[in-house]
Amino acid sequence: AKANGKASYQFFRPQLSQNLVIKLNNEQSLREAIDGNEFVLYYQPRVDAASGELRSLEALVRWIHPVRGLIQPDEFIPLAEKTGLIVKLGELVIEKACAQLALWKQQGVPLVPVSVNVSSPQFNQGNFDAIFESHLIEHGIDPSFVEIELTESCMMGEDQAIFSQLAALKSLGVKLLLDDFGTGYSSLSQLQRLDLDILKVDRAFTAKLGESKEGEVFFMAIISMAHVLNMRVVAEGVETVEQLHILQALSCNEIQGYYISRPVPANEIERLMHKRFLF
């Protein structure tokens, strides 16, 4: 047993330190990418489910790596969250979204609100509301043209600090959206306390539409609850016309997904902003 233990120890140790080196390298390169401004925003439309009219654009970050090219957020957002680098990266995203809105406004592109994804560590310093507002002011952006996409992890526990930062943003006129709804454990009272404007149902539920009654029943319950609480419902991950038709029948307010458009760079989204009705 002792010999085995030693063997596995010898086998395991170099493996561990190698992983650590890879992790540190990644963290270091992510840090350098933030300092070197290697990120761009893609935008995905969200449209009215009944009319197809463009309602909002979700800003989704991409890393343009000098060697590897375009890197999707699933490859670096989790690391950014774990290391705290998301605070700096998140502020970069807010700054870019505001700068883009200001540019579109200056160019006379018909504006719709832009939503940005925010991770819970971004609230840890307690001044997220002030940082956000300073970028709005710097670029002359009306707060009603930005929305914040939160996940349920932002609302875990009784963190009063997060609630007061969100309340400050709400009083400016910024809209709050709960993302990936249905995957967490929020209670109705937590949702009410946050004073959310929009529930975005996770695409796992959209994928079930048309395949079983389960997805439809879930949407039906969520939509009736949300409407009583004065919230709008967005279905994400809509890929087929069948899914759209079911959601229309259920009075879902808005949809987002590949059926309308994938996330695309700013110059490609401008064409859709001029077109306005996307189906």
Query: Could you list the residues that contact ligand C2E (CB under 6 A)?
Result: 44, 60-61, 72-74, 77, 86, 90, 93, 117-119, 149, 179-180, 203, 237-239, 257-258, 263
Contact 238/217 with Cβ under 8 angstroms? no
Given 147, 179, 216, 254, the residue binding Ca ion (CB under 5 A): 179
Question: For ligand C2E, which is the closer residue by CB, 113 or 257?
Answer: 257
Residues in 215-254 at the binding interface with Ca ion, rule: CB under 5 A: none
Identify the CA nearest to 119 among candidates 70, 180, 210.
180
Amino acid at 236: E
Minimum distance from CB of 273 to ligand C2E (Å)?
A: 18
**Cα dist from 234 to 145, 205, 250, 251, whole Å:** 17, 12, 12, 10
Dihedral, 148, 206, 57, 159 alpha carbons, nearest 10: 0
Out of ligand C2E, Ca ion, none, what residue 45 binds, judged by CB under 5 to 8 A for its kind, is none
Question: For ligand C2E, which is the closer residue by CB, 97 or 194?
Answer: 97
Minimum distance from CB of 203 to ligand C2E (Å)?
A: 6
Out of Ca ion, ligand C2E, none, what residue 35 binds, judged by CB under 5 to 8 A for its kind, is none
- Which x/- pattern over 104-133 shows residues binding Ca ion (rule: CB under 5 A)? -------------x----------------
**Cα dist from 68 to 22, 38, 210, whole Å:** 16, 12, 39
Contact 60/263 with Cβ under 8 angstroms? yes
